[in-house]
Chains A and B, each alone.
Chain A
Protein backbone atom coordinates (compact mmCIF):
# COMPACT_ATOMS: atom_id res chain seq x y z
CA UNK A 1 0.00 0.00 0.00
CA UNK A 2 0.98 3.61 -0.45
CA UNK A 3 2.85 4.92 2.56
CA UNK A 4 5.35 7.50 3.71
CA UNK A 5 7.61 6.48 6.58
CA UNK A 6 9.51 9.22 8.36
CA UNK A 7 12.67 9.16 10.42
CA UNK A 8 12.72 9.03 14.20
CA UNK A 9 12.40 11.91 16.63
CA UNK A 10 15.32 14.32 17.02
CA UNK A 11 16.56 16.60 19.80
CA UNK A 12 18.72 19.50 18.69
CA UNK A 13 20.31 22.53 20.30
CA UNK A 14 19.49 26.07 19.22
CA UNK A 15 21.52 27.06 16.18
CA UNK A 16 21.92 23.48 14.97
CA UNK A 17 20.38 21.85 11.90
CA UNK A 18 18.03 18.91 11.54
CA UNK A 19 17.32 16.63 8.60
CA UNK A 20 14.13 14.60 8.44
CA UNK A 21 13.69 11.81 5.92
CA UNK A 22 10.51 10.52 4.32
CA UNK A 23 10.67 7.17 2.52
CA UNK A 24 7.91 6.48 0.03
CA UNK A 25 6.63 3.10 -1.04
CA UNK A 26 3.73 1.62 -2.98
CA UNK A 27 3.73 4.11 -5.86
CA UNK A 28 5.93 5.67 -8.53
CA UNK A 29 7.89 8.20 -6.52
CA UNK A 30 8.56 10.61 -9.36
CA UNK A 31 4.86 10.95 -10.21
CA UNK A 32 3.92 12.83 -7.05
CA UNK A 33 5.40 15.86 -5.34
CA UNK A 34 6.05 16.02 -1.60
CA UNK A 35 4.99 18.79 0.76
CA UNK A 36 6.33 19.42 4.25
CA UNK A 37 3.94 20.61 6.95
CA UNK A 38 4.71 21.24 10.61
CA UNK A 39 2.65 21.50 13.77
CA UNK A 40 3.92 23.17 16.93
CA UNK A 41 2.63 21.75 20.23
CA UNK A 42 -1.07 22.54 20.63
CA UNK A 43 -1.12 24.57 17.42
CA UNK A 44 -2.49 24.22 13.91
CA UNK A 45 -0.91 23.03 10.69
CA UNK A 46 1.69 25.15 8.91
CA UNK A 47 2.76 24.51 5.32
CA UNK A 48 6.52 24.82 4.88
CA UNK A 49 7.21 23.94 1.28
CA UNK A 50 6.86 21.56 -1.67
CA UNK A 51 9.29 19.70 -3.88
CA UNK A 52 8.72 18.04 -7.22
CA UNK A 53 9.93 14.46 -7.03
CA UNK A 54 10.22 14.57 -10.82
CA UNK A 55 12.66 17.44 -11.33
CA UNK A 56 13.51 18.80 -7.87
CA UNK A 57 11.76 22.14 -8.31
CA UNK A 58 10.77 23.66 -4.99
CA UNK A 59 8.39 26.20 -3.49
CA UNK A 60 8.59 27.32 0.11
CA UNK A 61 6.95 29.67 2.54
CA UNK A 62 8.77 32.98 2.80
CA UNK A 63 9.30 32.63 6.57
CA UNK A 64 11.65 29.67 5.96
CA UNK A 65 13.61 31.35 3.17
CA UNK A 66 17.31 30.70 3.66
CA UNK A 67 16.81 28.09 6.38
CA UNK A 68 14.90 25.34 4.58
CA UNK A 69 16.26 22.89 2.02
CA UNK A 70 14.14 20.14 0.49
CA UNK A 71 15.66 17.40 -1.63
CA UNK A 72 14.77 14.01 -3.03
CA UNK A 73 16.71 10.85 -3.83
CA UNK A 74 14.86 9.06 -6.59
CA UNK A 75 17.11 5.99 -6.30
CA UNK A 76 15.71 5.31 -2.81
CA UNK A 77 12.31 7.05 -3.18
CA UNK A 78 13.16 9.26 -0.23
CA UNK A 79 12.49 12.94 0.38
CA UNK A 80 14.49 15.02 2.82
CA UNK A 81 13.81 18.24 4.69
CA UNK A 82 16.65 20.14 6.32
CA UNK A 83 16.01 23.09 8.59
CA UNK A 84 18.99 25.16 9.75
CA UNK A 85 19.64 27.71 12.51
CA UNK A 86 17.08 26.05 14.72
CA UNK A 87 15.25 28.08 17.37
CA UNK A 88 13.08 26.95 20.24
CA UNK A 89 9.96 27.88 18.27
CA UNK A 90 10.94 25.32 15.63
CA UNK A 91 9.95 22.62 18.12
CA UNK A 92 7.17 20.81 16.31
CA UNK A 93 6.02 17.63 14.63
CA UNK A 94 7.14 17.70 11.01
CA UNK A 95 5.07 15.83 8.43
CA UNK A 96 5.82 14.90 4.86
CA UNK A 97 2.79 14.52 2.64
CA UNK A 98 2.23 13.31 -0.91
CA UNK A 99 0.68 15.50 -3.55
CA UNK A 100 -2.38 13.80 -5.07
CA UNK A 101 -1.42 14.94 -8.53
CA UNK A 102 0.20 17.85 -10.33
CA UNK A 103 -1.31 21.04 -8.95
CA UNK A 104 -3.43 19.10 -6.54
CA UNK A 105 -3.62 18.86 -2.77
CA UNK A 106 -2.33 16.29 -0.32
CA UNK A 107 -3.65 12.75 -0.15
CA UNK A 108 -1.21 10.71 1.93
CA UNK A 109 0.62 11.81 5.10
CA UNK A 110 3.68 10.45 6.85
CA UNK A 111 3.41 9.57 10.51
CA UNK A 112 5.27 12.68 11.63
CA UNK A 113 8.66 13.34 13.21
CA UNK A 114 8.97 15.27 16.46
CA UNK A 115 11.84 17.72 16.45
CA UNK A 116 12.63 19.25 19.82
CA UNK A 117 14.93 22.27 20.00
CA UNK A 118 16.30 22.72 23.48
CA UNK A 119 19.52 23.75 25.11
Chain B
Protein backbone atom coordinates (compact mmCIF):
# COMPACT_ATOMS: atom_id res chain seq x y z
CA UNK B 1 0.00 0.00 0.00
CA UNK B 2 1.12 3.56 -0.68
CA UNK B 3 1.74 5.52 2.50
CA UNK B 4 0.86 9.22 2.59
CA UNK B 5 2.51 11.46 5.18
CA UNK B 6 1.32 14.99 5.87
CA UNK B 7 3.21 17.72 7.64
CA UNK B 8 2.69 19.40 9.91
CA UNK B 9 0.10 17.43 11.87
CA UNK B 10 -1.22 20.69 13.29
CA UNK B 11 -0.74 24.32 12.45
CA UNK B 12 -1.75 27.58 14.11
CA UNK B 13 -2.30 30.65 11.98
CA UNK B 14 -4.11 33.98 12.04
CA UNK B 15 -6.88 35.34 9.87
CA UNK B 16 -5.28 36.79 6.76
CA UNK B 17 -2.24 34.51 6.83
CA UNK B 18 -1.11 32.19 4.07
CA UNK B 19 -0.27 28.60 5.02
CA UNK B 20 1.18 25.59 3.24
CA UNK B 21 0.56 21.93 4.04
CA UNK B 22 2.82 19.23 2.65
CA UNK B 23 1.92 15.69 1.62
CA UNK B 24 4.51 13.07 0.68
CA UNK B 25 3.94 9.65 -0.84
CA UNK B 26 6.37 6.80 -0.23
CA UNK B 27 6.32 6.05 -3.96
CA UNK B 28 5.48 7.99 -7.07
CA UNK B 29 1.81 8.67 -7.72
CA UNK B 30 2.04 10.91 -10.80
CA UNK B 31 -0.62 13.62 -10.28
CA UNK B 32 -3.21 11.33 -8.72
CA UNK B 33 -3.52 13.37 -5.56
CA UNK B 34 -6.61 14.93 -4.00
CA UNK B 35 -7.14 17.30 -1.09
CA UNK B 36 -10.15 17.42 1.24
CA UNK B 37 -11.31 19.78 3.97
CA UNK B 38 -13.27 18.54 6.98
CA UNK B 39 -14.92 20.54 9.73
CA UNK B 40 -15.95 18.97 13.05
CA UNK B 41 -19.05 16.82 12.78
CA UNK B 42 -19.29 17.31 9.02
CA UNK B 43 -18.57 15.22 5.96
CA UNK B 44 -15.35 15.99 4.12
CA UNK B 45 -15.47 18.48 1.26
CA UNK B 46 -13.49 17.89 -1.91
CA UNK B 47 -11.13 20.73 -2.76
CA UNK B 48 -8.61 19.59 -5.36
CA UNK B 49 -8.07 16.65 -7.70
CA UNK B 50 -5.24 15.87 -10.08
CA UNK B 51 -2.85 17.58 -7.64
CA UNK B 52 -3.79 21.07 -8.82
CA UNK B 53 -7.30 21.17 -10.32
CA UNK B 54 -9.96 22.85 -8.23
CA UNK B 55 -13.24 21.04 -7.70
CA UNK B 56 -16.29 22.94 -8.91
CA UNK B 57 -17.14 25.88 -6.66
CA UNK B 58 -13.88 25.87 -4.69
CA UNK B 59 -12.32 29.34 -4.45
CA UNK B 60 -8.99 30.06 -6.06
CA UNK B 61 -7.41 30.80 -2.67
CA UNK B 62 -6.76 27.04 -2.50
CA UNK B 63 -3.74 26.12 -4.60
CA UNK B 64 -2.44 22.61 -5.04
CA UNK B 65 0.85 21.68 -6.60
CA UNK B 66 3.30 18.84 -6.95
CA UNK B 67 4.01 15.69 -8.90
CA UNK B 68 5.43 12.29 -8.21
CA UNK B 69 5.98 12.03 -4.47
CA UNK B 70 5.80 15.58 -3.09
CA UNK B 71 2.71 17.78 -3.00
CA UNK B 72 1.55 20.96 -1.31
CA UNK B 73 -1.71 22.68 -0.51
CA UNK B 74 -1.45 26.44 -0.03
CA UNK B 75 -4.31 28.46 1.39
CA UNK B 76 -4.06 32.20 1.08
CA UNK B 77 -5.78 34.97 3.02
CA UNK B 78 -7.14 32.67 5.72
CA UNK B 79 -10.71 33.33 6.81
CA UNK B 80 -12.48 31.91 9.86
CA UNK B 81 -14.26 29.31 7.71
CA UNK B 82 -10.92 27.90 6.51
CA UNK B 83 -9.94 26.60 9.95
CA UNK B 84 -10.50 22.87 9.64
CA UNK B 85 -8.66 19.59 9.13
CA UNK B 86 -7.14 18.90 5.72
CA UNK B 87 -6.43 15.49 4.23
CA UNK B 88 -4.51 14.44 1.15
CA UNK B 89 -5.37 11.20 -0.65
CA UNK B 90 -3.71 9.24 -3.43
CA UNK B 91 -5.73 7.49 -6.10
CA UNK B 92 -2.87 6.29 -8.27
CA UNK B 93 -3.42 2.71 -7.20
CA UNK B 94 -5.70 0.65 -4.99
CA UNK B 95 -6.07 0.69 -2.09
CA UNK B 96 -6.57 4.43 -2.08
CA UNK B 97 -4.89 5.90 0.99
CA UNK B 98 -5.21 9.12 2.97
CA UNK B 99 -2.71 11.16 4.87
CA UNK B 100 -3.23 11.38 8.61
CA UNK B 101 -4.61 14.91 8.40
CA UNK B 102 -3.42 18.43 9.23
CA UNK B 103 -5.43 20.39 11.76
CA UNK B 104 -5.41 24.11 11.01
CA UNK B 105 -6.26 26.17 14.09
CA UNK B 106 -6.77 29.84 14.75
CA UNK B 107 -3.86 31.46 16.57
Residues in A lying within 8 Å of B, measured CB to CB? 35, 37, 44-47, 50, 59-62, 95, 100, 103-112
Residues in B lying within 8 Å of A, measured CB to CB? 1, 32, 34, 36, 38, 43-46, 49-50, 55-56, 87, 89, 91, 94-101
Closest to B44 in A: A109
**A47 and B98 within 8 A (CB):** yes
**A35 and B96 within 8 A (CB):** yes
Chain B, interface SS category: loop
Closest to A95 in B: B43
Residue pairs across A and B with CB atoms within 8 Å: the count is 60
In-complex Cβ contact of A45 among B55, B56, B89 (8 A): B89
Measured between alpha carbons, how far is A109 from B101 in the docked complex, in Å?
18
| A53 vs chain B, min Cβ distance (A) | 17
Assuming the A-B contacts A45-B98, A47-B96, A47-B98, are A105 and B49 also in contact, with contact meaning beta carbons closer than 8 angstroms in the complex?
yes
Assuming the A-B contacts A35-B96, A44-B101, are A112 and B43 also in contact, with contact meaning beta carbons closer than 8 angstroms in the complex?
yes
**B34 and A105 within 8 A (CB):** yes
**A44 and B44 within 8 A (CB):** no
